[in-house]
Amino acid sequence: MTATPAEAAEPAAAGCLAGIDVAILAGGLGTRLRDVLGDTPKILAPVAGRPFLDHLLARLAAEGAARIVLCLGHLADKVTDYLEDSGSVGADVRWIVEPQPLGTAGAVRHARDHLGSDPVLVMNGDTWIDADLAPFVAAHRRSGATASVLCVRVDDVGRYGSVEIDESGQVQGFVEKDTARTGPGVINGGVYLLSRAGLDLVEDLAGPSLERDVLPRLPAGTVRGHVAEGAVFIDIGTPESLAAAARVIGAAAGRHA
């Protein structure tokens, strides 16, 4: 592992992520963006004049995150070179590089020894959710859940799949994406809180995907869904959504300025 303690002018203000380690999953191949980005890794895709990673790190620092682990794979050297050269990160950022593509669950397993808090925040490195994380963290702590999933409402679940949540907040099921199954609904926003017990189960359960192989197999009643009402969600996984990201993130920055 290579690590760099970022040199920030001031420490991040205490916030809801204070004391919570964050793992950003950024090892994907980004095949759908290859014609647009070339040999630029997806997490460094330019959005509103800055690499997408900068927006994520600034957001996490504003929430009080002090220790972030980047789970890298494809084109990892581009990301590490950028971090070493930029000097603009306001948190202690570490990285580990997958020996081969491991998937989202595999990346968490690979990073386990570098994640010491309880809970740990895990997030996809290609999604942006303009939501207050404080209620999500508070609800997870109150519930004692093994895992909590940050969810958002969208107009069309066909591209994403959906999450079924009962009135008590328990996740009852994950529905695979299906272009024939359209319409409004609740989707997985790609942000998770995992307790130590949750990390143990990720280790124990086989399969590369958190979304398909691990979360649906956790014991009944141990996974909670928190719907961030009114939150704006975008992923940058396609050329169209990447093009729209500047508007979405720019609008969010204006609201929080």
Give CA–CA dist 131/243, Å, rounded: 21
CB atoms within 10 A of CB 1: 10
- 8 A C-beta contact, residue 202 and residue 210: yes
Task: Dump pLDDT digits (tens) for 117-167.
Answer: 999 999 999 999 989 999 999 999 999 999 999 999 999 998 888 999 999
Global pTM value = 0.90
Rounded to the nearest 5°, which phi and psi values hold at 28? -70, 165
Total structural domains in the chain? Answer: 1
* 52, 56, 93, 185, 188 from 47: Cα distances, Å: 6, 11, 21, 27, 23
Taken in order 131, 127, 10, 121, is the CA torsion positive or negative?
positive
Minimal CA–CA distance to 96: which of 23, 1, 4, 5? 1
Reported as a pLDDT band with limits 50, 70 and 90, residue 11 is very low
Cis peptide before 216 (omega within 30 of 0): no
> What is the mean pLDDT of the segment spanning 1-8?
36
Task: Dump pLDDT digits (tens) for 18-29.
Answer: 999 999 999 987
How buried is 179 (Cβ within 10 angstroms: 0-12 exposed, 13-18 middle, 19+ buried)? exposed
Instruction: Of 25-29, 68-72, 172-176, 242-246, give the range with the top mean pLDDT.
Output: 68-72
Give CA–CA dist 204/129, Å, rounded: 29
Residue 116: predicted pLDDT: 95
**CATH classification at residue 115:** 3.90.550.10
- 8 A C-beta contact, residue 22 and residue 123: yes
Domain housing 167? 2-256
